[in-house]
Each structure stands twice: as C-alpha cells, then as structure tokens.
Structure 1
Amino acid sequence: MADGIDVFTLYQDVRDWHAVRGAGYEFCYVKVSDGDEDRADNGYGPAGHSAGLAMGAYHYAQFGDPVTQAERLVRRAETAGCTDLAPALDLEDPFGPDQRATDFAIAFLRRVAELGHRPCLYGNNNILGTVLGPAKAAVPETLVWAASYGAAPTVPYDVWQWSSSGNVPGISASSVDLNRGVIPVDAPGGSDVPLADLYTEDSMARIPKGGSEGGLERAVNYQLAVSMLREHDVVIAPGDMPVVVYGSYHWAWNAGTGGNPVTDPNNPVVVPVQGSYSYIVPRGTGKVDLIYWSDDDFTVFVAPR
C-alpha cells in the first residue's frame, strides 16, 4: 500500500516537493484539464518527479465529446510531464449514476487506451456503482480510483481517496485530498504487467553531520522517504569519520512497521571509516527516522529488494 495526494494548482500551492515526499507520499495526481479547457500545472510534474514522487494527470469531465476530452487529457499529461501514473478521468457533477455517464466513461477510457496509456476512472461509490461494471467490461485494463470518506469504498478499487481534508508538509492549502492504494502506474498499451513490478526506486542521500558524543539524547534525526510497496536495503557508508547509529525507526502512514536494527540505543552501532553497515526496512514503510551522530557528512544508499 502506498500513500498519495491529488492537487489542483488553483487550490494547492506546492512549495516543497521534497517535504511532500519526506512525509511519506509516493504519488500525486495533478488536475491538468477540465472539459474543453486546459488547467495550469505550474511545472508540478517534473518538480514532483525529481523529488521522488510518481506523477500523473487527471481530467474533470464535462458534458460534451468524450473522445476530444480524452485526447486533451493525454496531450496535457504528456506536455506537463505527468505520465508516471495512468491518466485519470474524474467523473462527477454534472454527471450522475446513469447511462449518459456510462457511455461517456467507456468512450473516454477507450480513447485513452488507444493513445497508448492505461486509463484510470475516478468517481464516488454512487457513480462507480453504475458505471464501473460496464466500463471495466469494455476497457478491462482500466484502474479504479474510488472516493469514499469515513468508510472503505463499496466497489472494487485500486486507489482509495479516503479524505478531502489532509494537511501535507510542503503544501500551502486549506486542505489536500489524501489517497491510499497501489501506485496506479501508467503502462503503455494497457500492459497487464503487475503495478508493483512497474515501480522501482533507489536513491542515494548525503546525510549532514550532526549530533555529538554523549548518548541518545545528543543524537539527531534525519528522515528518509522510501516506497511502501516493497522491502528496502539501507546501506550506511561513513565519510572521514565514523557514524554512530542509535536507531532506525520505520513508519507507515499511521503506525510503526518494526525492523529497527539497533535493539539497545545504549549500545549503538558504530560504522567505521572505510566500512559500511546495512539493514532491511520492512515493506509498508514510507518514512525512516535515522537517529545518529557523526562529525562528518556521510552517505546512505536506499535500494528496493
């Protein structure tokens, strides 16, 4: 399971994508079009991608031609650099749970697939309850993004928008939509490759020196963001001075995930110069709190297992 957000530049001013990623969010949908009009993306696609998020685009549907609206979404997704995620159709007001919505969705999703992308359908329980069955029958590769606040969706889904009132570091906004599920990765041609196999992540971070000798109370905390989809190997490589590791605490969106390699912070791990130390971060972890002290910068490498 991964955590994600969706944003619209009119309402969510993302000022620090690294802070968003550091808070554990792994993917983001950006509203790029609405009916027959484009919406400003403010460069969110490349900026979020460079911070380690998978970025995608969504289109707010209006009455009209579903084919031209689908073509608008795909064009905007590609020009905005938001092609990590399956292009998503946002089907809500003015549509309702009826045949008109079903016909629109099928034509829209089919055109997205024809243009070489894996389509995604967003809606609430009410609309999806009517539209989802026929849409999946017509375009089987369609991913489902379901909105339901307070309780899990009553329809099958890949991503659940579980809140519309999130507060996310790095974003100036009264609220942010929060999502949870598989990362809805785009697959050219609607590939049947499992989503988790399409998302890989490895990164190297230069960790600043900090803390001082004297025990856990003089240590510092550096937060590492990792993908919740898999286990990771974390490798610590010192610079010109040893690194003293007091703990590595691992967190999902609302709970710890275990796996701290230091069983007793009173007996920390000392990683020597020209040496290294590695341990496993459990699947489901989105954030790592590395507790340490070192008199020199050092390197941490994170690699999916």
Structure 2
Amino acid sequence: MGDRAIDVYEAYQGQVNWPQVVASGVRRVFVKLTNGGGQARVRGDRYVAGARAAGARVGGYHYALGGDPVAQANVFADELIRLNALDLAPALDYEDHSLPKGPAAQTWIRRFLTQLNVRLPQLGKNLLYGSGSDLQAMRAWEITVPGADVLEWAAEYGVNNGTKNPIRHYKGGQAAVHQYTSAGRVPGIAGHVDLDDVLANIDEGTVFVGDRPPPTPGTAATIRAALIQMMEDCMVTFPPAPTTRTKVLALPPDYDVTLVFAAESTIFGGHIYNWTPTEGKGTGGDPVQWRVEVKEGEPIRIPSGTSKAHVEYSCGTEVSCFIQVKPRG
C-alpha cells in the first residue's frame, strides 16, 4: 500500500491542526489511549475527534507495562469503545523494559490480544508494535490468537533523520507497518512526530453503526453487511463482575435484534439501555428512557432503531450474551 500514517500522543505533540495534517497526505492516525492499567495521562478524546472530523481513519494504541495483560486489555477495550476509535486495527505497543522479553513475551501478548478480541469480536486484526530487534527476539510471526490476525508494526529507523530507511533487523516475518522515524515533520504539527509506512491492509471493515456516518461515501451497505454477518448466531462473553459493570454492544439499527443472557450464577442488577443513530434519542436523551431488566434465558427484543446498547450487570461468574439478528419484518 505504501500509505503514510502517524502515531501521536497529545502530551507530546500538543495542539494539532488536523485539516492541515490530512491535507498533507496523512490518512491514518493512531492515538495513544491507555497506559498500563489506566487511561493515558492526557486522554485521547480531542485527537480522536479532531482527526476524524478532518477525514482521517482513526485507531488507538495501548502502551503496555508489566502487570496483568487481561486487565490492561480491558482498559484499552473500554477506551476504544468509548471513543469508537475502531477504523484501524487496535495496536499493542510492546516496548517497555518492565515487560517480559524474548519468547516469554509471547505468552503475555497472547493473553492481552485474546482478551481484547473477546471484548471486540467485530474486529479482525490486531497490530503488535515493537522494535525490529524485539519482534525478532520474541519471534513475533509465531504469535496467533483466536478470531483475529496479528500483524507486526516494526520500528526501525536506521539514521533517524526523518527519511525512510529499510527494515534490517526484523527478518522472521513481514511487517504490516514500518515506523521509519521519530523525527518526522508533518504540516499542522509543530514538533517531531512518528512517521509510519503502511505496507498492508490495517483498516477495519466495521464501525459501531449509528455512532457516526460511514468513513467514506457508499460504504454503509458494506458496513451493515459485515456487522450483520459478524453478529448472526454470535455469542459474546462478559467477565465476572462482583460490582456493577457496563459493557457496550454495537447493533445494526435497521434490523431486528434479540439478546439472550445466560450465566452459571444469578445475574444481579442487570439492565440494558439503548441509544439510536439520532442524537439525543435513547436513554439519557429520550423522555421514554427505554430500559429493560436482564433476566437469564429470557429473549430480550431490542427497540427498533437502536445502534448501541449498554448492558449493566453484576454476576459472580461469566455472563454469555447470545445475539440474534434478523431482517426487519
């Protein structure tokens, strides 16, 4: 493909003129969303909104730290969903010195990406970022997870002067993205910025329908079809929650959707709230404020036009959510 992307963090790049960035040829933007077990110190809201409004495809990345990979994956998934930063494959930035290295890294990465794909089953790709030498040492091309491809994002600069140099250290696999400098310059950004050469398809084909318009004209039918195919006879697993927790489901607003919940123990305090593609319509904006109690084994018909459902629950064991989608009428 050879398209240019950038990866940014507001704490470093500061104020950005996004129309200038996109006009310069940048079409894909990765925003730092989370760091270890929490949100990034400077949250990604403004960057995600600004890049998207200027016409870029937007994704997020997580800066991993030593610790529980499952917990970190959940934090990352929460931010990806909250900001709908799902135009690009979500990226795991695996470079910190506190993380396992070499072959031991594979186990940590698999646990992180497996949990991320449990939370975001509609996505089909993950990106694994690291230096070329680190990716080689961990044999990154061997890492696989259920339900999604793992694509490598290799950072290799050569002479770090803003120009492209070939990948020299990562020999075992084929990088999907090459970060070739951290000293790049892009109109609309005052200081240095990481520049990335996109060498394979890293775009995701589905978005949370109804949250915003399709990224390009004429793709609504494609997005809808992909989302329907993904959700038909689909089961999503929610983790145990000793206290009340919220999960988000993306739903196609022009199809009939039914949810059925099951668990090995009682589901307490379960409710579903709905949002529609029309701004202000849905719980929190609609005077009707539709909500329904989650009852195990009982089919729950979601109101027509719902694009997003917030499932609020607490349960001592995992909760399985079965999703059935049918053409309306």
TM class by smaller structure: 0.5 to 0.7
Q: Secondary structure of 2:142's partner?
A: helix
- The amino acid that maps onto 1:9 is E
1:10 aligns with 2:17: no
Residue from 55, 61, 86 that aligns with 2:58: 55
**Residues 170-181 of structure 1 mapped to structure 2, 5 A cutoff:** 170-173=188-191, 175-181=192-198
User: Does residue 1:132 correspond to 2:140, yes or no?
Assistant: yes
CA-to-aligned-CA distance 1:67-101 (integer Å, 9 cap, x gap): 11111111111212311111110001223532331
Equivalent pair of 1:109/1:120 in contact (CA under 8 Å): no
Give RMSD over aligned pairs: 2.4
Written as runs of structure 1 = structure 2, the 5 A alignment for 1:21-60 is 21-39=22-40, 40-60=43-63
Cα distance, 1:77–1:140 mapped onto 2, change above 3 Å: closer
2:183: which partner in 1? 165
Q: Give the residue type in structure 2 aligned to 1:69.
A: Q
Q: 1:124 to 1:107 in 2, by over 3 A?
A: same
Cα distance, 1:41 vs structure 2: 1.0
CA distance in 1: counterparts of 2:67 and 2:23, whole angstroms:
40
Which residue of structure 2 lines up, in the alignment, with residue 84 of structure 1? 87
Matched pairs, number: 193
Cα deviation digits, residues 15-66 of structure 1 (max 9, x gap): 2111000100010100111101201114211221121111000001111111
Kept in 2: contact 1:91–1:122 (CA 8 A): yes
1:108 corresponding residue in structure 2: 112
Whole-angstrom CA distance in 1 between matches of 2:184 and 2:61: 19
Q: Does the alignment pair 1:141 with 2:149? A: yes
**What's the secondary structure of 1:142's corresponding residue?**
strand
Q: Which has the higher contact order (CA 8 A, sep 6+)?
A: 1
Equivalents in 2 of 1:139, 1:108: separation in Å? 13
2:126 to 80, 96, 119: 119
Aligned with 1:169: secondary structure? coil
3-state SS of the aligned residue for 1:172?
coil
Instruction: Give the direction of change, closer, same or farther, for the CA distance of 1:137–1:59 in structure 2 (3 Å limit).
Output: closer
Q: Distance in 2 between matches of 1:145 and 1:139?
A: 19
Query: What aligned pairs does 1:215-226 form with structure 2 within 5 A after superposition?
Result: none
* TM-score where L is the length of structure 1: 0.58
Question: In structure 1, the residue corresponding to 2:11 is in which secondary structure?
Answer: coil
In 2, the alpha carbon distance for the partners of 1:159 and 1:144 equals: 7
Aligned-partner Cα distance in 1 for 2:30–2:215: 18
CA drift at 1:137:
6.7
AA aligned opposite 1:176: V
- CA contact 2:60–2:91 (8 Å) conserved in 1: yes
| Displacement after TM superposition at 1:201 (Å) | 4.0
Letter in 1 for 2:13: Q
Task: Determine the C-alpha separation between the residues in 2 that align with 1:102 and 1:138.
Answer: 14
Structure showing greater Rg: 1
For residues 273-293 of structure 1, the C-alpha deviation after alignment (integer angstroms, 9 at most, x for no partner) is xxxxxxxxxxxxxxxxxxxxx
SS at match of 2:55: coil
Closer, same or farther in 2 for the Cα pair 1:167/1:132, shift >3 Å?
same
| Contact 1:86–1:187 (Cα < 8 Å) also in 2 | no
* TM-score, L = length of structure 2: 0.54
Contact 1:122/1:146 (<8 A) preserved? yes
Letter in 2 for 1:133: W
